[in-house]
Structure 1
Amino acid sequence: MSGEKMTSLQKMAVLAPEGMLLAGITGLGYFSAYLSDLGYKSHFHIPSMFVEINLNSVVLSVCVIIFTLFIAFLSITVPRLRRVGPYLFSFFITASVAVVIGMKLGFSLSRTNLFTLIFYFLLCTGLLLLFFQLTKKENRITNLAAVMVLSGLMIFVSYSSGSLIAQNQKFFLVSDGKSPLVVVDTYKDSLVVAPFDPKTKTVAPRYQFVHLESDLNAKLNFSMKKVGPLNISTE
């Protein structure tokens, strides 16, 4: 970057203390994992008080955040990448997030949500392009706007990813019997189960928490079945 003046955001990216970056990335990882689980539970009408952050979600969120910030760092600090980088990496980052969501769904998406996913893809790509354009300007207001755009994008992607997974998930644990129960989630050492109608693929939001060591759990036999995507009744 010799011979070129760095913007305030570029200086912050280069000179930020490692400890601050590590703490910020870890905090964003936990926050992203929380929002993803919140989006998942909101689809099934499960109260936010039962949101739970697990280690796998945090690690995945941190990896995605590190990758995103690394690409953003290269795009605003490496002179050769400033022209092509924003367009190339805006698409590449969004595609990578889509692949991560696809891996959780087995790359199976319902047709009803296909246009929603395309809209989200274009929106995220556009916001990333806006972020890169804002970082080029030597102005504190635009630099602050760039940080807000990137933060808002992370929040949107985290929440939407959990919601999309809930809307498109096809395989669930279902109990045997005339009145089947479906496991929609877990909370600590309990299964979150609800009444399930196999004919309409509808779940009644009357949830029970079945502890893994309880007598009720011993009487229930669960098997993995392709019953989704599930509909939520409005009762």
Structure 2
Amino acid sequence: MALKEIAPLSDARLRGAMFVYVAAVFAALGGLLFGYDTGVISGALIFIKREFGLTTAAEEIVVSGVLLGATIGAILGGKAADLFGRRRVLLVTAAIFGVGALASAVAPSPAILIASRVVLGLAIGLASTNVPVYLSEVAPAHVRGWVVSLFQLAVTVGIVVAYLTDYAFAGIEGWRWMLGLAVVPALVFGTGMFFLPETPRWLIRGGQHEIAHRVLVRIRGLADVNAEIEEIRLSLALQTESG
């Protein structure tokens, strides 16, 4: 009898552990897109300059457009996530990444390309503020450190992938392919976030305690998650008191 009770519990814990790994991989794709869209322009710019006849000033604007968008995204990202939820904001972020990459790839003029780069920067700013928060709020305490660090690792991997992509398409001067291929990880990122739950912390903060309980049971693989729920409540109370 005891063995029959232990087996399902072990299976549930295994599923909970697998959830953390899957969530970490999908959410960290936001970091990969961050790195890719930041790094890919270095190889594409020389071909963009040839096609559009860009001046030095125009080149600088094409490159720095991402930084402008990222600044706006970083400023708005935290407040948006508090209001609408981490998951919803990351779904929107994935959509912005995809739209920005596609618009960059088909841009018929420097003005459209610059606007597209600003849009991509907006997604980068949103991802940089919200992916680490999402990861920290779904990961259990004993693995939270390395799970959150995956975001920074993914940024670095994204930069490397961008350089390799630039090299692969340099022979055909395929700058549109360089920029447009970011649509693929954006689709995977969005699909993954669609199936992942909202974070328990945000749910409890919004008074959705029953949903938070169900999410924690699912992602921890434990029947009794009351201790963690109480810990989150105390943390939120302290945060409110400290302003």
Higher strand share: 1
TM normalised by structure 2 equals: 0.32
TM-score, scaled to structure 1: 0.33
Q: Which has the higher contact order (CA 8 A, sep 6+)?
A: 2
